[in-house]
Amino acid sequence: MAEYTVLIIGDADRWWTSMTMEERKEGYAQYAKFNKALADGGHRIVGGGELTRTSEARSIPKGGGPVTEGPYAESTEAVGGYYQIETDDLDGLVECCQIIAATGDGIEVRPNVDPADRPS
C-alpha cells in the first residue's frame, strides 16, 4: 500500500477571517463527506491536520538566518491543511479530492517517499 500526502492549498486564512460560522459549518460538512468517501473507497487516513492562520507561522530563510513571523512568501495561497492517506487506488483518491476542491481550495496529491528508496 502506498502513502500519499494531500495538500489543501488556498486562502487558508479565509476560514478564520471572512467566512461566517454558517459557511464554516458547511465547509466542515464537506470535509466530513470527504472523510466518508475516503473510507467508502478503501483509502485509510493515517494522519493529517488543519493548520492555523498564516500569521501564526514562523519562517526560517533558505540557508538559515533570522526567524520571521508569518509565512515565508507573501502569497494569497498557502497550505491550510493536509491528510496522510494510505491507498492502492491513486485514481480513486484523486476523485475523492474533488469534494474538497469544490469548496474553493486547490489540492495537490503527492506520493510519499518510500523509506526503502532512501540511502541508508
- Look at 25-29, 53-57, 78-82, 99-103 and tell me which has the smallest mean pLDDT: 53-57
d(CA 29, CA 41): 18
Q: Please check the confidence at residue 105 and state whether its pLDDT lies above 80.
A: yes
What is the reported pLDDT for 2? 96
Q: Please check the confidence at residue 99 and state whether its pLDDT lies above 90.
A: yes
Residue 107, helix vs strand vs coil? strand
Give the end-to-end CA distance of the chain in Å, rounded to a whole number.
Answer: 22
Residue 103 CB-half CA count within 13 A: 27
What is the reported pLDDT for 11? 86
Reported as a single tens digit per residue, the pLDDT across 36-75 is 999 999 999 999 999 988 888 898 888 999 999 887 666 6
What is the reported pLDDT for 17? 81
Pick the CATH number of 2-106 from 3.40.109.10, 3.40.50.1970, 3.30.70.1060, 3.40.50.2300: 3.30.70.1060
Contact at 8 Å (CB) between 61 and 71?
A: no
What is the reported pLDDT for 70? 80
Q: What is the average per-residue pLDDT within 14-24?
A: 86
The answer to pTM > 0.85 is yes
Closest by CA to 103, choosing from 20, 6, 24, 47, is 24
